[in-house]
Chains A and B, each alone.
Chain A
């Protein structure tokens, strides 16, 4: 980076500190000297040093470890009241003047020193000959002075105001200080020796170059433009710190549509654009609307394959609307008036009322057929459906079916293929499509639509057909009707980059927040 760019990105604290280096002719400087030179708080110095090191403008030049010694609370008490040996001599001498002498035990009861300190003091004084033990364990002071007591007093006095470097004392004194310093396990000592690391810092090569431009207090730099600055115009005298704009910003979670819903919205709007009207139906359905009305015989294997969820209570609907029930029943049994031979079995009207969870979106189409639909008319639904299936990567507990119908005098096999061609283009941007014979219980002829998706290649896009007259006529519709269904989930999954259908309905918020894709 160029020095200008580096300089522009500096925080005022950093500029101040670099200026201090520059004042010291780029020589290594200790942090305490930096503090003096820059007139900054210790915390600011350490913060700015951290930043400058991260930017490789300053490096640590050297580290010196020094030992410092000072008084503890105990030390201050010794200074005021005397150290234990001093106290023993003083007490014994005073006693002697009054004609009294003490045993060790008696002395112990007269003060608050810990017993270990006292016994160390006795040992010392005896060794130095400052006391002697007379008959009966009585202590007698001698004329010999104790050099240690004197030295201790000097040291306590010396250190009463501030800590000093251990090395500034004579070797003799150092030994004594160490002897009477706080160690692990003995807190009751008068001195404490601490090791301090003193670092010296020096600017790097780039740092030196940048430091040349730095003059403490030269610019007033601000990071935020404030309303006050605008009001009084003071922004004119300020320099606005430049940001490192290449860093990533903090993350936020925006308000957002669900990505799979977004896909369904697109489909929905395309269908409306093609002239389809939305229809809706209930989640809980009768077998009648879900299957019987679609000419699926009550015994048919397709119905057993079509495993459904049955409702626990109530088990049956109160009624199925007439005349549809009777007309559908007659159609199943004999063909009724549809021109069909029918399935030729005894239709169970009780079973028609059995309540289930809607297993196919076509149930919604059946209800629409029975509700005086517009002719010509186009309808679609996005119906939540349920199947009695083990849940796995390709089966969700419930899923959406996109289905619909087209009613009109013009409807026939060729207009069906025409509609599917439009679907191929609109829903899958496919220029090529193929039609295969298919089987659905409620349509004849039936078609499977395969398309060449620009990215996914050949894929099945949906199934469709012309509703059998056995479906339309009992529901009161006399014109031909196209029934179609689209399988679009695979396109949605590919666009979203997911491989498990359950993830379309994920409960993982992080996944929902980050799931994205373009549905072209």
Chain B
């Protein structure tokens, strides 16, 4: 989740009071924030925000707002939401955009002179929202412009890639949209969003000046805001109407909190948006919901007076009307994360403070137990320790080479492989444990001998008969390595183990690439194959760079539990 940085002075101005650093930290639970660091010299503060459903908090304005609400105990008014007058400015959406990037929302912000600091904050929010909330601009992207240069109405339309030319941010010459996609760094980074589109989205004003090529790049002329500018246009485009509206609402509210006057813009669509064809933005996006007080009480585990609940939620930004058993609530316009009454319950808890709840010990009686598989594993582990073996605990992602080639298994040996490989060394789930123990042997020629190792753990066995295409099994592997290690020594270990497991078994000669011919066997119990035993083939040892003989056992553990009581 995002980490944002801001300056203490800016934060204090937004909050309307001075803030000692330890005070800030005590407020951060209100925004699910964690203080990462404070640079005393510059007053720079870095905070990590945890809640991916609260993009309104990913800015200094949002953090200050949530804390200010708590201090003032009631939400401020945002008059632009309820302005009666018809908007002065319009954006006209052209046909065909529903196939490309259907939605746009915009507003103007005037009367607030942007400073270096607030500009840095505006850009930070713009980036965090487009990147994390907007899926790297795919769902949502934001543009800021110098309002005085723009002649309304603005058109949001489609053009051929070679038809329009303008000077994009960061360059000094005019390029076609086609050229921007192939040459400009942002075109290269975000071009895939518009891949295979014959026509590309563009914003231009009534005089034909190009504002931007969303979601790729703004124009150098109109689309570059400087410190000192005091009249701005904020525009959001995207593929999800609700997210587009929410993003604009967050921006409008942030600017309003800094003192700007927000004026809505009317957007006219030729197609339906789910919100009508003509929409005035910013706007309220949440409906009033009736939440039974009982739902909150039972979630939090304590009785809550309706008035207290109302007061608590208002101090967290909600619009609330309480009756005896119900709360009629509406989220503030910069939030869109109320899906269920439990969301309101959490906000009540956060607003009250988690510290104010007295923990209650769960009292209902339950019986604890380990699974049969775990108990069997523990029994075998204890036994193997008694036989003088060191337990090994391995990572279970290995390379194909370790699992198959080095073990002299046929190339088409089935193992569960990862598709999006990060490193060849960790590209497969192990299908047996012996290779894990050989990794230890390869790494440990200087550890004094004998080496007597064992591991019990999970493996994944490809199995097309299974719903998941594989099954997870628990196995025991034993490795004995020293200058005189042989079949008989490991056979003795197996024999003693089987004796105490009260299991009859026999060995059947086995021809297997990993083992010396005539010195390997299948372990059978009541006709069922339950494991392998043998002396490793010298070529296997060479493949692993091991220079002592090794004898091994690999035994299934699952079957040992199958018939246990």
Contact = CB atoms under 8 A, between A and B. Distances in A.
B317 to A, nearest CB: 15
A76 interface: no
A418 B472 contact: no
B474 to A, nearest CB: 9
A63 interface: no
A441 B416 CA distance: 29
A411 B1 CA distance: 29
Contacts of B366: 275-277, 374, 376-378
B78 interface: no
A249 B278 CA distance: 90
Contacts of A509: 390, 440-441, 443-444, 447, 451, 453
Contact of B299 (A310, A335, A445): A445
Contacts of B301: 412-415
B360 A437 contact: no
Interface in B276-301: 298-301
B417 A311 contact: yes
B439 interface: yes
A278 interface: yes
A422 B360 CA distance: 10
A382 B452 CA distance: 27
Nearest to A434: B355
B423 interface: yes
Given A277-B367, A444-B342, A255 B52 contact: no
B418 interface: yes
Contact of B472 (A284, A388, A406, A437): A284
| Residue picked from B1, B302, B343, B357, most chain A C-beta under 10 Å | B357
A87 interface: no
B32 to A, nearest CB: 5
Nearest to A383: B458
A309 B418 contact: yes
A444 B446 contact: no
Interface stretch (B115-123, B381-389, B535-543): B381-389
Interface residues of B, number: 94
B467 A376 contact: no
A283 B393 CA distance: 17
Interface stretch (B217-225, B321-329, B345-353, B522-530): B345-353
A209 interface: no
B363 interface: yes
A302 B370 CA distance: 33
B394 A507 contact: yes
Given A310-B418, A317-B467, A417-B357, A437 B368 contact: no
A436 B417 contact: no
Contacts of A38: none
A140 to B, nearest CB: 75
Given A313-B417, A420-B359, A285 B468 contact: yes
A390 B361 contact: no
Interface stretch (A128-136, A197-205, A265-273): A265-273
A318 interface: yes
Interface stretch (A26-34, A107-115, A239-247, A339-347): A339-347
A513 interface: yes
B360 A261 contact: no
Given A276-B368, A391-B423, A412-B300, A335 B469 contact: no
Contacts of B369: 272, 277-278
Interface in A310-366: 310-315, 317-319, 335, 338-344, 355, 357
B460 A280 contact: no
Contact of A445 (B346, B392, B441): B346
A373 to B, nearest CB: 11
A171 interface: no
B346 A444 contact: yes
Given A256-B390, A284-B416, A390-B422, A317 B370 contact: no
A310 B139 CA distance: 24
A408 interface: yes
A55 interface: no
B458 A283 contact: yes
Contacts of A420: 359
A255 B135 contact: no
Interface stretch (A13-21, A40-48, A142-150, A464-472): A464-472
Contacts of A386: 397
A513 B367 contact: no
B500 to A, nearest CB: 15
Nearest to B54: A439
A302 B52 contact: yes
A388 B350 contact: no
Contacts of A126: none
A512 interface: yes
B364 to A, nearest CB: 4
A428 B381 CA distance: 26
Nearest to A253: B390
Interface in A421-465: 421-422, 434-439, 441, 444-447
B371 interface: yes
Contact of A310 (B298, B378, B387, B419): B419
A372 B29 CA distance: 36
Given A315-B419, A397-B397, A413 B362 contact: no
A71 to B, nearest CB: 48
A507 B439 contact: yes
Nearest to B385: A255
Contacts of B426: 391, 397
Nearest to B370: A278
Given A414-B358, A437-B346, A317 B393 contact: no
Interface string A375-410: 011100000101011110000111000000010111
Interface in B467-507: 467-472
A283 B368 CA distance: 24
A466 B354 contact: no
A169 interface: no
Given A277-B368, A311-B416, A466 B395 contact: no
B51 interface: yes
Contact of A311 (B29, B389, B469): B469
B404 to A, nearest CB: 14
Contacts of B439: 507
B50 interface: yes
A513 B370 contact: no
Contacts of B444: 507-510
Closest 3 CB pairs of A and B: A412-B301, A509-B444, A414-B301
19 contacts: A256-B390, A257-B391, A275-B366, A280-B373, A283-B396, A284-B460, A313-B469, A355-B468, A376-B365, A397-B426, A413-B301, A413-B349, A415-B359, A415-B360, A415-B361, A444-B346, A502-B395, A509-B390, A510-B444
Given A317-B469, A374-B366, A444-B343, 6 more contacts: A261-B391, A271-B368, A301-B133, A355-B468, A439-B52, A508-B444
